[in-house]
Amino acid sequence: MAQPEAEFGQDAPPGGARERGLTAAKAGVKMGRNYARYLSRRAVGANKEDARGELHARNAQDLFGELSKLRGTALKLAQGLSMEPGVLPEQFSEILARAQYDVPAMGPALVHRIVTKAFGAPPESVFAEFSMRAAAAASLGQVHRARLKDGTHVVVKVQYPNVRESVDSDLRLVRGLAGRFLEKEAIDPYLEEVRDRMMEETDYRLEGANIEEFAHRFEGSRILTPRWVPEFTTERVLTMTHLDGMHLKEWLATGPTQEERDRNGQLLWDVIHEQVAGDSLKVHADAHPGNFLFREDGKLGLLDFGCIKTFPLTFRDGLVRLYQARMDGDLDGLLQAYAELEMLPPDMEGDGEDYLLGVLDQLGAIIESLYRPDTYDFGASGLLDQFQDLIPQLTGREAYKHRRPVGSQHFVFVNRLLAGMLSILTQLEARVDTRYAKQLLDTVVT
């Protein structure tokens, strides 16, 4: 994990819609210049693949640099894109993945002001110890190590200024950009879904309550969570107990054995399926590498409970019926599930319907391949290549002819959860036993 130097920390990100729009526009200008450079290199005979790789790397670096200044919703969306299997070129995914836990930190003076305002007293009075150097910084806030006066070691998450105030302006910006490719009105339900979760994620008291709920759910299992310290928590400052462990990139650098990779992959695979199939209908929907800790005791640490999605029962059960129909080869059941989940609009017919059904069938075949065998080897499957091969059909000329999003707005967080899980398991090159997950999914809806 990056250890930002406090003295080189940034001030507050821009909060006004105009300021944020100008910052985003700078990224567009830089990317335009990079494209001109790419064309000039191609004109003088540069290798096409090398030139395109350099273009992607420059664009990703410039985009990350400008979004890092904005933080908030804009950077959070970039983080999500970095996890979508096959959606972005490799150079983009690698650089934008830094949004998970490697963003320039706020300077100590600003942190001091925020904490003092939250508690009505400076951090050196509230805590026995408080490190002004950020242990990590991400899209919505940064964390500082501290110690309570009773000796408990804790982590204090401090939210960046203007995050809540900028949610709507950032989403309007995203709506404008997406409107070049999709009907703006059609994407509104999806953006509204993102907005609702983002507003929840900026209230750290809700996150504290989520921490406690999931801590009780996982009690006695091999999943560990921090514990909430409510008396030292406000809407924008959250205190929780410290949890030891390494993030994925650090842990992989230690050279874990295949057995250790498999064990942690199995834990991740099982705990996500338990949440989806659970009676509470609540799912930790932010499955990116920065939110998992790999521990020496063989347990898996789970962090960041701001983005918790509660699925409507009808949607969750429809999702499971879709899986069951696919596994059973039940075409009528599959079409019924598509309709229930709004994946096949009733007014779509002809070429558009045929095209969509073809794409859904190919996507379903990839997902089915995960569950068909009793053991799935993420290190030998070429899973991301399969998604990459499907991308042209999702973003190419034919897809543009049918420019409308499909599926319930709740898929926003299903996709996020699935993309995160598959990305981590692929990096782990884990071999997982799928039988327990299949048993869970087979018994949810009968």
One domain for residues 17 and 120: no
Using the structure block, give the residue that is written with the tokens 């347990």.
299
Is residue 433, in this structure, part of any structural domain at all?
no
One domain for residues 129 and 181: yes
Cβ atoms < 10 Å from Cβ of 168: 15
Whole-angstrom Cα distance, residue 88 to residue 409? 22
437, 273 Cβ separation under 8 angstroms: yes
Helix, strand, or coil here: 260? Answer: helix
Confidence of residue 348 (pLDDT cuts 50, 70, 90): confident
One domain for residues 74 and 117: no
Domain C-terminal end among 190, 210, 243:
243
Is residue 267, in this structure, part of any structural domain at all?
no
What's the confidence (pLDDT) of residue 56?
A: 59
One domain for residues 61 and 108: no
Domain C-terminal end among 211, 243, 275:
243
Confidence of residue 19 (pLDDT cuts 50, 70, 90): low
One domain for residues 217 and 230: yes
What's the confidence (pLDDT) of residue 7?
A: 35
Using the structure block, give the residue that is written with the tokens 């949810």.
444
Query: In 3D, which of 86, 88, 82 has the Cα closest to residue 387?
Result: 86
What's the confidence (pLDDT) of residue 269?
A: 98
What's the confidence (pLDDT) of residue 181?
A: 46
Domain count, the chain: 2
The H or E element that residue 205 is part of is helix 204-217
One domain for residues 59 and 114: no
pLDDT at 15 > cutoff 60: no
For residues 304-330, give the mean pLDDT: 95
pLDDT at 8 > cutoff 50: no
What's the confidence (pLDDT) of residue 168?
A: 73
pTM tops 0.75, yes or no: yes
- pLDDT one-digit tens code per residue, 380-432: 988 878 887 776 666 545 554 555 566 788 888 888 898 889 989 999 999 99
Cβ atoms < 10 Å from Cβ of 301: 18
Is residue 346, in this structure, part of any structural domain at all?
no
Confidence of residue 290 (pLDDT cuts 50, 70, 90): confident
One domain for residues 87 and 183: no
Domain that residue 238 falls in = 104-137+140-243
Higher-confidence residue of 212 and 407: namely 212
- pLDDT one-digit tens code per residue, 67-96: 555 555 665 655 554 444 444 455 555 555
For the chain, the C-alpha Rg in angstroms (whole number) is 22
What's the confidence (pLDDT) of residue 43?
A: 59
Confidence of residue 30 (pLDDT cuts 50, 70, 90): low
One domain for residues 149 and 184: yes
Is residue 234, in this structure, part of any structural domain at all?
yes
For residues 313-331, give the mean pLDDT: 96
Is residue 342, in this structure, part of any structural domain at all?
no
Is residue 168, in this structure, part of any structural domain at all?
yes
Query: In 3D, which of 259, 269, 265, 271 has the Cα closest to residue 221?
Result: 271
What's the confidence (pLDDT) of residue 198?
A: 82
The H or E element that residue 283 is part of is strand 282-284
Backbone angles phi, psi at 142, to 5 degrees: -130, 160
The token pair at 387 is 């998604």
What's the confidence (pLDDT) of residue 194?
A: 76
- pLDDT one-digit tens code per residue, 235-255: 999 999 999 999 999 999 999
β pairing state of 431-433 and 375-377? antiparallel
One domain for residues 126 and 85: no
Higher-confidence residue of 198 and 16: namely 198
Asked which of 21-35, 104-118, 412-426 is least confident by mean pLDDT, the reply is: 21-35
One domain for residues 112 and 213: yes
pLDDT at 215 > cutoff 50: yes
Through-space distance between the first and last CA atoms of the chain, rounded to whole angstroms: 45
What's the confidence (pLDDT) of residue 82?
A: 47
What's the confidence (pLDDT) of residue 400?
A: 46
pLDDT at 340 > cutoff 60: yes
pLDDT at 132 > cutoff 80: yes
- Report the b/e string of 401-433 with b at 16+ CB within 10 A: eeeebbbbbbbbbbbbbbbbbbbbbbbbbbbbb
Query: In 3D, which of 224, 212, 363, 210 has the Cα closest to residue 285?
Result: 210
Is residue 364, in this structure, part of any structural domain at all?
no
What's the confidence (pLDDT) of residue 84?
A: 47
Using the structure block, give the residue that is written with the tokens 């794409």.
359
Q: Look over the chain and give the mean of its residue pLDDT values, rounded to a whole number.
A: 81
C-alpha to C-alpha distances, 195 to 68, 76, 169, nearest whole angstrom: 20, 12, 11
Using the structure block, give the residue that is written with the tokens 């006695």.
220
Name the most confidently modeled range: 46-60, 195-209, 314-328.
314-328
The H or E element that residue 241 is part of is strand 237-241
pLDDT at 6 > cutoff 80: no
Domain C-terminal end among 49, 84, 100:
100
One domain for residues 158 and 52: no
What's the confidence (pLDDT) of residue 282?
A: 95
Query: In 3D, which of 135, 143, 297, 285 has the Cα closest to residue 214?
Result: 285
Is residue 150, in this structure, part of any structural domain at all?
yes
What's the confidence (pLDDT) of residue 113?
A: 95
Higher-confidence residue of 20 and 362: namely 362
One domain for residues 60 and 118: no
pLDDT at 327 > cutoff 80: yes
446, 393 Cβ separation under 8 angstroms: no
